[in-house]
Amino acid sequence: MNQLTNIGFIKQLLSSFGFSFSKQMGQNFLINPSVCPKMAELSGCDGIGVLEIGPGIGVLTEQLAKRAKKVVALELDRRLQPILNVTLKETDNVSVIFGDVLKTDLAALLQEQFGDLPVVVCANLPYYITSPVLMALLEQQLSIGRITVMVQKEAARRICAQPGTRQCGAITVTVHCYSTPKLQFYVERGSFLPAPNVDSAVITLDCKHPPENAGCDQALFGRIVRAAFAQRRKQLANALSAGLHIDKQQAVALIKQCGLPPAVRAEELTLADFKQLCHCMEETD
């Protein structure tokens, strides 16, 4: 059913169900017919399981269903249920589950739905939850091979930047720790209904098992990264002191112990520096 990228068809379908877009839920549906087949191909879901977050009216879901053994689509908005019943009626390998991805026990969901089947994630993410969704997928070290997601263009650039460069943020360090990211292609705002105010990009994250911080206390590693970037304009000593609730002298000593310059800022740190900070802090605890 290629009608799912036809504006006239979509408008008629949605109005027949009295559906109106929710800005709050980040509902911008894809209408560019070339994007979903490309995302499905990039996802690497052929013959295996795929978890989709936010199927909307099912435009990406139907492309995933053509390739995957099983598709599980997790959607927050129950108003989409009768619409998905219509748009996905010709598929027999899709399960739609209603719930909030951020409140879902993803490890349990993957086990229940896919068992031993290898799984990838593919989604046009609602932009308001890009970071928490990626953090949840990566930090929980779910048994996922690849994550293929559409995000805002600026978020894609930040995620794929190298740690230790100006564009880097907490999400950059986390992503590089748990995966190898790649910016695949840009998607213009006119590819969506309604059109958002920003352009987008599709990125892939190839998950690392084990992650780069395997030898560290991973919860502490996450706290250090978040604290360091919570006040990214400040020197690292001040940011760590505020974010980890330690006194400034302790933060300064920690930085010195790791062989870092006293005035260093978070955006100058490499992944190895963050690991070193974590090890030093574990030793002083």
Residue 252 Cβ, how far from ligand SAM at the closest point, in Å? Answer: 41
Judged by CB, which is closer to ligand SAM: 194, or 215? Answer: 194
The window from 25-33, 42-50, 168-176, 230-238 that contacts ligand SAM (CB under 6 A) reads 25-33
Does residue 27 touch ligand SAM according to CB under 6 A?
Answer: yes
Among 10, 40, 45, 76, binds ligand SAM (CB under 6 A): 76
CA dist 63 → 4, 9, 74, 121 (Å): 11, 18, 16, 14
What is the rounded distance in angstroms from the CA atom of residue 124 to the CA atom of residue 141? Answer: 21
Pick out residues in 236-275 that bind ligand SAM (CB under 6 A): none
Does residue 60 touch ligand SAM according to CB under 6 A?
Answer: yes
Q: Which residue has the tokens 């559409």?
A: 150
Q: Which residue is nearest to ligand SAM (CB)?
A: 54
What is the rounded distance in angstroms from the CA atom of residue 73 to the CA atom of residue 184? Answer: 23
* Helix, strand or coil, per DSSP, at residue 78: helix
What does the radius of gyration of the chain's CA atoms come to, in whole angstroms?
Answer: 21
Judged by CB, which is closer to ligand SAM: 25, or 117? Answer: 25
Name the token pair of 114: 């896919």
Judged by CB, which is closer to ligand SAM: 27, or 179? Answer: 27
Does residue 203 touch ligand SAM according to CB under 6 A?
Answer: no
Judged by CB, which is closer to ligand SAM: 125, or 168? Answer: 125
What is the rounded distance in angstroms from the CA atom of residue 124 to the CA atom of residue 170? Answer: 22
Does residue 56 touch ligand SAM according to CB under 6 A?
Answer: yes
Q: Which residue has the tokens 């070193």?
A: 276
Does residue 55 touch ligand SAM according to CB under 6 A?
Answer: yes
> DSSP secondary structure string, 108-160?
HHHHHHHTTS-EEEEEE--GGGHHHHHHHHHHTT-SEEEEEEEEEHHHHHHHH
Pick out residues in 113-172 that bind ligand SAM (CB under 6 A): 124, 126, 129
Under the rule (CB under 6 A), what is the footprint of ligand SAM?
25-30, 53-56, 59-60, 74-77, 100-102, 124, 126, 129
